[in-house]
Structure 1
C-alpha cells in the first residue's frame, strides 16, 4: 500500500477512464471539449476567476515554465523559501539568466516577513525592483503549510508578480488563488490522478507580462496554452486528461468543503497516532499541512521506511536532500485522506517501532 505524499493512490474509476480508448488530441473535437471541461472544473477547485491551463508534463514543468515565461535575462526575482522547493525556484531563475535573491530561513521556521519587506523596499530604493516573487504553499518534503496572505500583502504593496507552488496543497486545503498571479498544481497529488499533467491558474497581468517577455521555449512556456482554439502546442496526453477529468468529478461530487474536512480529519488521526508513539512532528503543529505529516526520526528514517515496506508492505516516504534520513513522511492527501488508510499506515509504523 502506497501512503506517500505523491504520487498518490489512484481511485478505480480514474484508472478505468485512463484505460478507455481516447480521441485523437490533434484532430478530434471530442478531446478539445474534454480539455475545456477539465479547465472549467479546475477553475471551481482553484476557486478562481483566472484562466486555468493544463499542459502535458509532470508538476515540475509548471515551476520551470512559470520562470521561463516570466523572467528575462537580468530580471530580479525574490525567491522566498523555507524548504527544498522554495530553494529550487532560485535555480530555475538562474538557469534563465535572471538574478535570484534567495530570502530563506531554516526549514522548520515560518517566512520572515521583516526580511521580505526589507528586501522589497531596498530593491525599490535602488530603482531595481523585483519582476516577481516565488514561494511554496506546502513544502512537501517537510510537511510545512506556509501562510501566504501576509507575503501577498507585501507583494501587492510593491506591485510584484507572484508565483506559488501549490502542487501538494491544491485540492486538499484552500489556496488563495485569486491573489496569486501564477498558481501551480499537478495531477498526482491531492487530485489522485496519475502523474503527467501540470495545472496553472494565471492572472491577466501575468499573461500581459508573458506577452511582453515573449519566451523562446515551446515546452517550458505557458503562452501557447492561453488560446488553444486553433489546436494545442503539441500532442496532448489524452489518457491523462481523461483520468484527471474523472478525478475532478469525484472531488466536485464530494464537495470541496467536505474534501477539505476529510483531509483535516485524516491529518488529525495521523498526528494523534504519531503522538501515541512518541514521535515529534516536523515542523511545529501550527504549520503542519493537512495533506502530509512529517515525523522527526534523526538518522533512522531510511531504515524505518525500509522495514515498514519489507515487513508490513506499506510504502512511506522519507525526507529529501540533507534531511533524507531524518524525516519520515506519511501522505494523507487525495484518495489516501482516509481514516482506514491512515490507520493501516500507522499500524505498520507502530509494529516496526515496537
Structure 2
C-alpha cells in the first residue's frame, strides 16, 4: 500500500504518479553539493543514464541540469547550431512548433515540415526531398508530441539522414518518450536526445536530462562563434558532468541534491529489470487502453496505429461532449486528465497519460480506474457508445 496521502490519480502526459521510494528520496537530509556522499550519488546517476539511453560509447556525454524539459531545446539550439545555419524541424504538434521557435530565437534558419493533417507525421519521402534540396546542420524530431499523441519513428529516420546527408546531426525531443518508448542511442546513431525527469522516468519535475554523441560534441567544438548562452553552455557544463561521473567534486551552478537523489532512485528501479520488458509493458497497457477507447466508439488524434504513442493517448470527444464537461466528472471520480492544447483542435479532445508506475506496478489499478471513469463520465454527459 502507498504511504502517500489520498489524492486524485494524476494521469496527464506528465508529471505522472511517483513511486513512494522516489518521493522518500526527496526528503534526503541537506548535504553539500560538492561533498563526497552527493558526488558519489550524482556520479552513479550520470552513469546510469548511459544504460537508460542504451549507449556504451565513451565519447557520448550525458547532462543533468536543473530546469524543465524546455531547457533541453535551449541546450541544443545554443550549442549545436550557429546563427544563420539551417535546421530542419519535423513537427507533429505544439512541441515540434515550440522547438522551431527556440531555434529561431538563437538566429537559426528553420524549415519546418508538418503532416498533411493533425494527427499524422512527416513521411520519409517528404523528408528525403527536403534533405536533398538543402544542406542542414541538424534535423530535429519530437519522438512523442504530447499535444497529439503522435509517435515518430526514429530508426528509419536515422538511416535516411545518414544516407542522404551524413554530416547532418539528428536530435530527438524525447521528453515524453524516454523510459517508455524504445530508444537505442548507439544502434540508431542518434546525435542528441533531450528529456526531463517528470514523465516516464518517474522523478519529480525540475531536471533537464540529455545525451549527446561524440559527433555532436565535435560539432560544438568546431563552432566559429561562441554560444549565445551562459547557463545552457556546453563549455560550462561538460567538465562538471565529466568530473561528477569520475566522482570528483566540481562546481558551475548549484544542482538540486534532493532531485538528484530522487532521480538516482528512479533510475535504479528502472534498470533493475531489462529495458525491453519495460517497453513491452507500456506497449501492452497502451494496446489495452486504445482498444477500450475504440470500444467506446471514440477516435484518437493519432489516426494510424503505427503513429500512436505508448505512454499517452489523445482522444477525440463525441461532438455532443465538451472537455469542460467531461474533465470535472473524471476529477470527481478521482482521475485527472489533461485537456487539448493543439491550437487547431484544442476543444475537441482530451489527453490520457499512462506511463511509469501507473503501468509498471501491478498492484496499482490506475488504468482500470481511468477507463471506468471515462466510460461513466461519458454516460453522465449523455453519450451512448
TM over 0.5: yes
Aligned to 2:299: 280
Q: Tell me which residue corresponds to 1:324.
A: 346
Residue 115 of structure 1, CA deviation: 2.2
Mapped contact 2:114–2:121 kept (Cα < 8 A): no
CA distance in 2, matches of 1:220, 1:326: 37
How far is the alpha carbon of 1:353 from its aligned partner? Answer: 0.6
Question: Is 1:30 the equivalent of 2:49?
Answer: no
For the pair 1:138 / 2:144, whether they are aligned, the reply is: yes
- Residue 41 in 1 paired to residue 26 in 2? no
Q: Equivalents in 2 of 1:39, 1:221: separation in Å?
A: 18
**Alpha-carbon shift at residue 302 of structure 1 (Å):** 3.3
Alignment partner of 1:173 is 2:160: no
Offset of residue 298 of structure 1: 6.0
**8 A Cα contact 2:118 2:301, kept in partner:** no
CA distance in 2: counterparts of 1:291 and 1:333, whole angstroms = 5
Q: Residues 276, 115 of structure 1: CA spacing in aligned structure 2 closer, same or farther, 3 A cutoff?
A: closer
Aligned length in residues: 347
1-side partners of 2:14 and 2:232: how far apart?
A: 23
Aligned residue for 1:126?
none
More off after superposition, 33-42 vs 255-264: 255-264
Q: Is the 8 A contact 2:298 2:318 kept in 1?
A: no
Residues 120, 307 of structure 2: 8 Å contact kept:
no
Cα distance in structure 2, aligned partners of 1:101 and 1:130: 9
In the other structure, the counterpart of 1:219 is 231
CA distance in 2 between partners of 1:193 and 1:152 (Å): 29
Q: Which runs of 5+ in 2 are unaligned?
A: 1-8, 244-248, 380-385
2:6 maps to none
Higher deviation after alignment, 91-100 or 282-291: 282-291
Residue 306 of structure 1 deviates from its aligned partner by 2.4
Q: 2:65 aligns to what SS in structure 1?
A: coil
2:237 touches 2:252 (CA, 8 Å); kept in 1? Answer: yes
Q: CA deviation at 1:164?
A: 0.6
**Structure 1, unpaired ranges of 5+:** 124-128
In structure 1, distance between residues paired with 2:190 and 2:259 = 26
Residue of structure 1 equivalent to 2:383:
none
- Matched with 1:232 is 251
**Superposition RMSD on alpha carbons, in Å?**
1.6
Residue pair 1:211, 1:223 contacting (<8 A) in 2 also: no
1:244, CA displacement in angstroms? 0.5
TM-score, reference length from structure 1: 0.93
Q: Indicate whether 1:67 and 2:87 are aligned.
A: no
Separation in 2, partners of 1:29, 1:98: 42
1:134–1:162 Cα contact (<8 Å) kept: yes
DSSP-derived class of the 2:176 partner: coil
After superposition, give the CA deviation of every residue in 1:11-47 in whole Å (9 maximum; x if it has no partner). Answer: 100010111114211x313222211111111111110
Q: Which moved more, 1:113-122 or 1:73-82?
A: 113-122
Residues 301, 324 of structure 1: 8 Å contact kept = no
Task: Find the aligned partners of 1:33 and 1:325 in 2 and give their Cα distance.
Answer: 48
Match of 1:349 in 2: 374
